[in-house]
Structures are given as structure tokens and as C-alpha cells.
Structure 1
């Protein structure tokens, strides 16, 4: 999306023109309502969620903030410090594959990660700093590159806070959280400084407590405005945790394990993330420029045991996946604005550079003590993305967005096994086109077509020998193409009601597949997904709003194979219904019902996961202008559902042979959290 389009979106959502600072937490133009997307969005599936709407949501973990994007489900199958599991448009996205996620234009997805391609750890998010969440689905924007085929989620932090905030929260299962955040003017015309510090602990309902502990901070200096100014930010995050990973259903049915028990109590990990980033923008009537840069240091030490005593009946199958990296990059774009008699044309060109210097590996361990090394690698992965995109309003009823993107990847892998070392490179051209018709009667129609891609693990592009079995291994293509087509409509014809519907098809040349016993992501078979999505928002009155999101997807492999054509873990249907109450005297609140549909767990569909229905809620009471108290409730009906299900072979202590079984991670039991919030 070009810069002027983003400015138009900001102007509709907040009380300012594009020249104002839209990085200040936004105020809704019509109090309590959503900003109109007519004439702004390029597809029926794109949108923006303001801080006020995000604040009304009840979230168990920071990553669930992304569920504000219709059709997106965020789950967890391990300890709270681990990256979340994502589901969207018929994908089990594992820990982030094919969902491009960014925070202030810094990529969150990590390439060639030790645990899975596109690893997306959002535990460093501080929801109170989020000014806006922008989302899109499908490969229809030239600006988006790797991992963006299913969708994108872009979190924008505030440059300044309207008021400082101090909050303290306590809850069941050892939960505690404290936050202090504010922004201070550095002087007349000298900009402002924003700071935030967060501490959190949580044990969860598990027999072996998570003991999740994290410390999180942000320091930002900003000056100027959203389209004529700059900011520089430093962030840090540290955490450690225990993990109750998925457990076999047979052990629970036999009474060997309770729902919240674990097989290997030494599973868990620790992580840290440090970053330094900056962004600069300039614009006038004829052109605009944008430059951002970042350096991110990530480290993860992860210990998992999914098959228990299958490979090693004596010491167990725990493995470690350390990953240490420094990611650096620069994004720059220039846009020309052309004013025509009946419309306007904006042409953007951009370049995106990223380099990952990675040290990771796979080790056999027992109780987090290393026994042997399966592989250890040093990877340098560099990419250059060039794009051009033109957005033109031809007349009052027709717009077009046409773009093309060229990506080049280069990888240098140095493995402890010389046969798996080497260099690899790949490039891909990705064109896209969107046609927008309207608005007529406050409605628009959309036609979107485009190509996208995801990258494969660089180690797969140079591999010759499987380091675990010693057998010959086939190399994979580093860049895998996706092709999407979509028809959509958006309407605001009825007062107070905003609705959008889309029909889509998305093909991949190779599916990414997570392998549980190795904890790795592999390139799989070609796939096709077709689906329909409906999203509606109704402002029923000044104090009540209703959200309804429905999505259904059909996912199949496109080649013939006796194993079957179903894609394990591919979600078929999701839905959310939310009622939000605000300004009802001193009271506010929300109820959110979430349906997480069934998934095939095997390629022949003989084993399936059961759907789940959960209810979360929140009640707030404003004591005075600056002080309020909130009570949040999770899983109100105390459903005994699964947060996630897998089907594979494992062996418990005392079993003579491996057993194929459903392995599940339980949805957390009902819990309450009480928070006191002070503004100043």
C-alpha cells in the first residue's frame, strides 16, 4: 500500500489530517465506531484496528491481540514463553509461517529458525503501547514479501501517550503483572520521549507450573509528525519458563496423566530480544519518502520432548534447539503523487534489505543436559526485495492497484557436517493487480489477483545427508511461489453496519509441514485452499457494538498420493461473536465467544480434532477520571477443550512399541484476573 493510502486511512480513523501525528494513540472519529474503509482498503479482507478497539478485547496472552484480524486464531501448545500457534484461511501456520508479522516495520518472523521456519515470538508486545493493528490477507500487495501469502499483521506503536499509565494486575494460577508507561516532552520543538516497563509472572493451571517470568521495556524518542518526522526506539525483552507440552490422549484416558500433567517436566526454555530501530518520513503535495532501519538480537534456548521414550527408551527423547541471531535491515520507499482531472495516481518504488547472521542447532538432551549433537550450523541469509506499485483512481467509480516485486535470496550455510555446507541462491518475480469498483450506495466491489512466496529453511537448500538418519536427503527450493485470486465486497449501506465478504483461492507450489519428533519444518506437497469469509461490525447504540466474524476454508493437496489429500492441522471453520459495552455510566465490558473449528489430523482424514467453543469476558468500572478497575474472565464455561491437537507416534515409559495417538494441549481452565489502572 502506498504512503498516501496509509495517510488516508489515518485521516479517517483519527481526529487529524495526514499532517497530524497519527502515531499518537488515535481517537475514533465517531466515538465508539470504526473508521470507514470505503475508498481506503484495496480488498475486502484488509482493515485497521484502533487502540480503543484493541483495548476493549480480553486477551490471555499478548499474541492474541492479533485475533482482532477477522478469521485469525492464536493458540499455544507449550509454555507461555514459546511462540504462539497461528491459524488463518485454512492454514495451520505453526509458529508463524505464511503470516508476515511486524512491529514498527521490524520483522518478527525469523528465517531458518531452529524450531520452525518463520518463527514468530510476540511475547515482547506491550498492548498498551499499540496505536494500531493493520491487517491484510492474500498475496496482493507488492510491498509485502516473505511469509505474507496467508496474511500480514502490522503492529504500530505510539510515539506519544495521551496520558501516562500505571497498572497492577493479579489473578489465579500465579498471575501477576505490573506496567508503567508515559511520554514526556523534551521541550518546545525538541520532540518527546516515551518509556514503558513491564514485568509479568504466570504459572498457568498446570501440575508442573510454567513459572513464566518476563521483563519487557521500550524507550523511544520521536520528533515531528507521522509524515514529516522521525523516531528512534530501543526495546528489550527477557523471559524463562517451564513447558507442559502436548500429552497423549491414551495416558489421560487410562488415568496415568491428568489433563494438566506433563510427561517430561524439564521441558521449557529461555529467550531474549534486544532491538534498536528508527524511522524517518517526509512528504509534500508532490512526493513522499520513508526510510526505516533496524538491528535485532534474538536468542532462544528451547527444550522439547514430543515422543517421550520412542527413540531412547532409557534417557528419553528430549532435544534442544538453540538459536542465536542478529537480524539487520533497511526499508526505503519513494512515492510520486500525480493529480489528475478526475482522480489521482500514486506510484511507489521501494527496496527492502535484510540480513540474518544465525547460529543454531539440534541436540539430544536429558533434563536440559546435552547428550549429543545432531547438527550445528552457522547460516548467513541475505535478501533484497525491490518493488514498484501504482495506485490510480481513474474516476469516481474505478480504482486500480498494480504492482510487481522482485526478490533475491542468498544463503551461506556452514554445517558441522561438511556435506551439508554450501551456498544457495534463488530469485522470484511476484506481480499483483487489484481492481476496486465503487463506491455505489456506500458499497465497493474488489477483484484481487497476485503471486507471493515463502522462503524455505536455508539448510534445506544445501542439505545432502539427513544428519539424524545418515540417509541421502533431497534439497528444497529456497523460494516457493503462491498464487491467489479473490472476489470481495464491502458495504456500509445500513446505518451503523459495516460488512465485508470475500471468496478466495490460494495455491502453493509446496506446503510447509511441521515434523513433531524432529521439531523442524519441512517442505511438503503442493496445496490449494478455497474459502469464504464474512466480517460484520454493528454499532447498535452509543454504548453497544457487535462484532461477528465467520470463515470457512477447504484445504487439499493438489497432487495424487495414496496417503490422502487432506492437510493435517488445516483449520476448516472459525467464528467470533463479540458484544462490547462502553460509556454505560462508569461501567464498560465485553463478552467474546470464539469457535475454533475441526481439523483433519491425518492426510486421509481418518483422525480429526474436535471443535471448541470458548467464552471470555471483561467488566470495567471507572472510579474517577484517572482510576479504573477491570475484572477479566477466561474460559467462563470452563470447557474441557483442546488448545491444539496433533496425531503421531510416541512411546511412554513401559510401552513396548510406539503408539499412534492424538496428542493435545489443554485449553486453560477458567481463571480470573483483576487489574487496577491509574492514568496520570
Structure 2
């Protein structure tokens, strides 16, 4: 196949006093833009916990995996507990987001999260990302924006790709453990349009005793005109991957020497996946406002083989397959109106969103060495989601503005059981709707010792539950009775914050937040049933800083503290802690790029100990790790770079769980029974060197 490469309580309590402190200005502070010089900042922020990351930040950032681009969002953590072809594990604001259940992500206008997914609700596989093509990443935390709907409880991110590259290039990368990568990308004018094309092929074996044999193929073709604010883009993407996984394992299997630190219990876990898509985006401003529209279609598939419990069921192992085949299509449209001085220069926005997942087959199967031996459940699902939203931004005074939003969602699901001895009694229809009000108030900017804005935000949101959990009355594994769960789970959140520029080039933001979730119900793809976890509450504090220094030096820091608790104690152990909710996340990053030959970037990340089960007696081991990138420009458009990942070779675990499992020797000795509870771990990859040569044309 040939490709034509040519080659972003406090405020309310102070409201009465602050007008006297206001600076005599009718302007507002620009939106937080992470990784840019202040002169490049654009927009108006509605909360202290939102912002934009630009391409320059990513250029010097060492990445182990594509999805780690999301770690530019302060406080967000990306890990992995299986093979690198599987969606990553995400953590933010006291949420174990699993594979994306409470964080919504969009790429080129298309949703990434998959509802009623074979492996987990909201499954968010970002392995198709090409970081070099990212033009900007806009993020929000909390449930305060009317534009955000399903899964956007902890937050949401919107990633846009470049429309034009400065010059075409080819990059060849190689590293330890069989890592290899080829990326070719470029753009050229086609009349008044821009055509961008990119192709990526990569592979990796990893440090695992069982080689990962990861093979990825990725292609992007984009035809565009103008910009994201005034123009259009037609984007085609194609991504495929296959891999062999080393799953998390009982820590005791490593401690006893049954397997090595990077060993596997199951010999042939892993899978294959694909994501092919076509999307179109259009935006046009005019004298009265602006209009936006977008449509998309996605062909998606996954076959995932895993044995997280090892050998509980005998020497053949507990491997199962989770399979998903679907067509996703939908779109969105919005219109904004500037209402003029008579209505306080308000901006009114109304929008419509629609999505349908036609899941022709989603199933759970017992397997041995990737061969199906039994069908636990198999279903066909049609899930349709529609939403209307309206949002009004008003500048009441030079020092006071507000955002008032209202959103209504309707979700309709139809499930037809097509396989499984005990599953055929399941299926049916489920429908639910929710109206979600949103409110934000901004006070400032005030001169004070430094330009400062204060924020107060409140809102309601939701995440959906798996449609199979909302329609099933029979456990597909054994035929026992189970209860249906609600299709939508309500979330309520509030936040107080401030943003300030204490010194030229220094931006700082602080936010104090809380969140209440009506239920932590989770569909367990490994078992084909919904597991009730109960209502929860979370609160925390976040502090982030951006510092731009002379000579092309920039520094960023973030600290995120959170506490997550169930409202009711677990009846089995009396605990109220939410497992895998990370209470402390801290990071420090530095970049050096004066525009000459040399450039560099370094990052240090710390994860505090988190509870592995509800009592908190069992906790993970806290750890920190560092990554480094050093580069040298050989000529304009050409460079040599070296990434050193896990710079100090920290021996820690990428993820830890607590649960029942059985090793091969325990199963053979008859000591396992129904599984032995203990620590399940997936080790952090050791120090890894990767070298890349980019040649520009």
C-alpha cells in the first residue's frame, strides 16, 4: 500500500468584598494553556481545573506508551496491567478509572470510550494515537461543562490532530527488548486544501520472559481547510494490533520463585484488535456567533484472551476470551449566538449529540490456548444515546461572569441473547434519561499582588452502566438469579479554585473539589455479570504550576491529593475505602529547548500507597520513577533523540490489586480451593533505552 508522504464556599464567600478590589479592566485572564508562552494563550477559563496542552509540550516528553500523552493532564496516571495492545489503566481524582469508565476522551471529534464493551464499561483504547501528530489536548475535570456527557465524571479530554506539518519526515526508532518503530508523515497543499498523511509500524517484545510480540500498524489520512475554529477536516484512520500478554500475577508466585519477576502464569494470553474510522468536522464563525458540526463512523473489534485468576479451575487454566464487534456512528452540531450589550454580552450555545453502537456480537467464552471450549454468554446489542444541551456565558460585571448550562440525555438499549446455556433467558430493553444542570461563577480578574481569578463550579453528570447489566436477571455462569441495575448512574460534583500569575511566566492554579457517585456498579467482563459496589464520595485538592524561564527552559509541577470512600461499609470486612483509589499523585517536569542544536526533557512521577481492599490494611507500595529525553538537531527537520525510560531502574509495580487467584503449583497440589486471596502485581518495566533518528525532507 502506497502513501503520499510529503512530508491545546471561597469564591462565593468573597463575592461581596471583591468588587472593591477589582482592577479597572473589562478583560479576563486567558485560559490555562500548559506548555506555552503566555503570549500564545487564548480563550477564557470556566474552572481552575481545565486547560490546554500544546504540541510543544509533547515534543520533549519521553513516552513509554502512546496513551501517556494523557499524563500531561495534571494528576492523571496511565499504567498497564497486561499487554500493550490492551487499553491502559487510568487513575484520576480518587477514581480507579479502570480502562476509561469515568473519563471521556475524544480524538478528531470521535468518542473513544466504548459502552457495553466486552472487557469493561467505557473501554478507552488510545493505542492508536500518534503523539507526533497531536496539535493540542483540551481537558476539563469534573461535571461542570454542558458539552460533556457519558463517562465524563472525573473529567474529559479532546485531542485534535495537526492539519499541516512544517515539513515531511521519516523517523526510525529502535531500542532494547525488540522495540522498533517506523513513522513517516507529511503534508502538502492540494489546491486550497491541505492533505496530511502518516503511517506508523511498531513492535516490541518487552522485558517479559514470554515475548510480547506486539505488532501495530497505524495510518492517518486527513484533508482539511483552515483551522479548527474556521474550516473543515475529513479524517480517515486505520489501526490494527496483535500481541501476547503477560498478565498481572500473584506476588507470591514471584516471591516463591515459581516464576521470575517478568514471568507469566498463562502461556498464550493477549489478543488482536482493530479500529477503522472516518470523521468529518466543520466550523464557521460569523458576525452573530459560530456554528460547528461533525459526523463519524467507526468499525471496531477486539478478541482478548486472559487468565487473571490463573489456575483456580484446574491445570488447563482459567483463560477466557472476550470478543467485541461493533459499528459506531454518530455526530454532533452546535450553534453559538452573541446576544449583544443589551443582554450583558452573553454568549448562548445550543447543541445536539447523537451516537449509536450497533454491537453485532459481544461475548465471553471459556478458552484453552485461545481455542473456545464453551460460551458463557453472547449477545447482540443496539445502544443509542442522544443529548440536547444549552449553555449561557454572561459577563455581568468587569469582575463577575457566569456559565449556566443544562443538559438532557436519553439512552436506549436493546439486548438480544444469542449464546450461553444460562444466558438465553437474559436480554430485553432498557431506557433511561437524565437532566443535568451546570453552574460556574468566575470572580476577577483582580490586581491583588498578582492577576488572579476565583472560580466556583457545581454540576451533575453520569456514567452509563453496561446494557447487559440493565437487562439481565440470570447469572450466565450458573443460572442463579441476579438483579438488574440502573442504566445511568448519577454523579454530583462541586469545586472551588483560583488561578493566578504571581510572576511573569509563572501560572499557578489551585482547586478543592468533591464528588458523589450514586453507585460504583461495574460490569465484570471476566464473569459476565454486574458487581454492585455501592454509592461513594470523594474529595481532594489539586495544585499545578507552569513556569517559563529564559533560554527556552520550562518547568511544570502538579500535586493531587484525594480521598475516596464508600457511603456504606462492606458487609464482609466492614471497610469503606475504595480499592485502587490513589490518594497522592505528584509530578515534576522540565524541558530545555532554546532553539539550537540540543533539546531535552525530564519527568519525575510519584504514586502514593493506595488501598487494595476496603479496610485499607492491604496497601500498594508507593514509588517514584523518572524518564529522560535528550535530543540533537542534525539539520533543519532532522534530529537524533534518546529516551531513557525508568531512568533509575526502579523496581516497583505498575499496578497492584487484591484478589483471588491460583498458581500452577497451588492448583497441582490441591491447595487452591476456590482461589487464594492475595496481592496481584504487574511489574514496572526496567530501565529501557530507545533511540530515534528523524530525517526531514
TM-score category (smaller protein): over 0.9
Cα 1:13–1:659 shift into 2, 3 Å: closer
1:575 corresponds to which residue?
A: 586
- Check the 8 A contact 2:320/2:526 in 1, yes or no: no
2:691 corresponds to which residue?
A: 674
CA apart distance, 1:301 = 0.3
2:85 corresponds to which residue?
A: 81
2:436 corresponds to which residue?
A: 430
The yes-or-no answer on 1:632 pairing with 2:636 is: no
The yes-or-no answer on 1:648 pairing with 2:659 is: yes
- Which 10-residue stretch deviates more, 117-126 or 562-571? 562-571
The yes-or-no answer on 1:91 pairing with 2:95 is: yes
Unaligned runs of 5+ in 2: 1-7, 9-26
CA apart distance, 1:314 = 3.2
CA apart distance, 1:341 = 7.0
1:156 corresponds to which residue?
A: 160
2:370 corresponds to which residue?
A: 368
TM-score norm. by structure 2 comes to 0.91
- Check the 8 A contact 2:654/2:683 in 1, yes or no: yes
CA apart distance, 1:659 = 1.4
Unaligned runs of 5+ in 1: 2-7, 15-25
Equivalent position to 1:495, from 482, 485, 504: 504
Distance 2:116 2:338 in 1: 39
2:681 corresponds to which residue?
A: 664
Distance 1:138 1:69 in 2: 13
1:20 corresponds to which residue?
A: none
2:513 corresponds to which residue?
A: 504
2:386 corresponds to which residue?
A: 384
1:250 corresponds to which residue?
A: 252
Equivalent position to 1:612, from 586, 605, 623: 623
- Which 10-residue stretch deviates more, 73-82 or 53-62? 53-62
Cα 1:421–1:515 shift into 2, 3 Å: closer
2:117 corresponds to which residue?
A: 113
- 1:321 is paired with a residue whose SS is strand
- Which 10-residue stretch deviates more, 155-164 or 43-52? 155-164
CA apart distance, 1:476 = 0.5
- 1:459 is paired with a residue whose SS is helix
Cα 1:595–1:34 shift into 2, 3 Å: farther
CA apart distance, 1:120 = 0.3
- 2:68 is paired with a residue whose SS is helix
- Check the 8 A contact 2:352/2:389 in 1, yes or no: yes
Within a 5 Å distance, the mapping from 1:219-230 to structure 2 comes to 219-230=221-232
1:474 corresponds to which residue?
A: 483
CA apart distance, 1:380 = 0.3
The yes-or-no answer on 1:100 pairing with 2:137 is: no
Q: Per-residue displacement from partner, 1:311-337 (whole Å, max 9, x unpaired)?
A: x21321100000011000010111111
Distance 1:9 1:65 in 2: 29
- Check the 8 A contact 1:115/1:520 in 2, yes or no: no
2:634 corresponds to which residue?
A: 623
CA apart distance, 1:36 = 4.1
CA apart distance, 1:525 = 0.7
2:315 corresponds to which residue?
A: 314
The yes-or-no answer on 1:530 pairing with 2:513 is: no
- Check the 8 A contact 1:133/1:155 in 2, yes or no: yes
Distance 2:637 2:105 in 1: 34
CA apart distance, 1:494 = 1.5
CA apart distance, 1:521 = 6.1
1:23 corresponds to which residue?
A: none
The yes-or-no answer on 1:484 pairing with 2:493 is: yes
The yes-or-no answer on 1:295 pairing with 2:304 is: no
1:348 corresponds to which residue?
A: 349
2:177 corresponds to which residue?
A: 173
1:142 corresponds to which residue?
A: 146
Equivalent position to 1:214, from 208, 212, 216: 216
- 2:339 is paired with a residue whose SS is strand
CA apart distance, 1:522 = 3.5
- 2:665 is paired with a residue whose SS is coil
Distance 2:522 2:623 in 1: 23
- Check the 8 A contact 2:146/2:389 in 1, yes or no: yes
CA apart distance, 1:580 = 1.0
The aligned length equals 656
1:59 corresponds to which residue?
A: 63
CA apart distance, 1:626 = 2.5
CA apart distance, 1:12 = 7.8
Distance 2:117 2:75 in 1: 26
Distance 1:401 1:200 in 2: 45
- Which 10-residue stretch deviates more, 56-65 or 389-398? 389-398
TM-score norm. by structure 1 comes to 0.94
- Which 10-residue stretch deviates more, 68-77 or 624-633? 624-633
- 1:349 is paired with a residue whose SS is strand
- Check the 8 A contact 1:291/1:330 in 2, yes or no: yes
CA apart distance, 1:515 = 4.6
- Which 10-residue stretch deviates more, 492-501 or 380-389? 492-501
Q: Per-residue displacement from partner, 1:111-156 (whole Å, max 9, x unpaired)?
A: 0001000000001111111100011100000110000010111101
Distance 1:424 1:290 in 2: 31
2:614 corresponds to which residue?
A: 603
Quote the RMSD (CA, aligned, Å): 2.0
The yes-or-no answer on 1:554 pairing with 2:556 is: no
- Check the 8 A contact 1:13/1:29 in 2, yes or no: no
Distance 1:605 1:70 in 2: 26
CA apart distance, 1:228 = 3.1
CA apart distance, 1:287 = 2.0
2:328 corresponds to which residue?
A: 327
Q: Per-residue displacement from partner, 1:219-271 (whole Å, max 9, x unpaired)?
A: 11112343332111110001100000001111111111111000002000000
Distance 1:71 1:181 in 2: 31
1:421 corresponds to which residue?
A: 427
Within a 5 Å distance, the mapping from 1:386-405 to structure 2 comes to 386-405=388-407
CA apart distance, 1:584 = 6.7
- 2:329 is paired with a residue whose SS is strand
Q: Per-residue displacement from partner, 1:154-179 (whole Å, max 9, x unpaired)?
A: 10111111222211111111011111
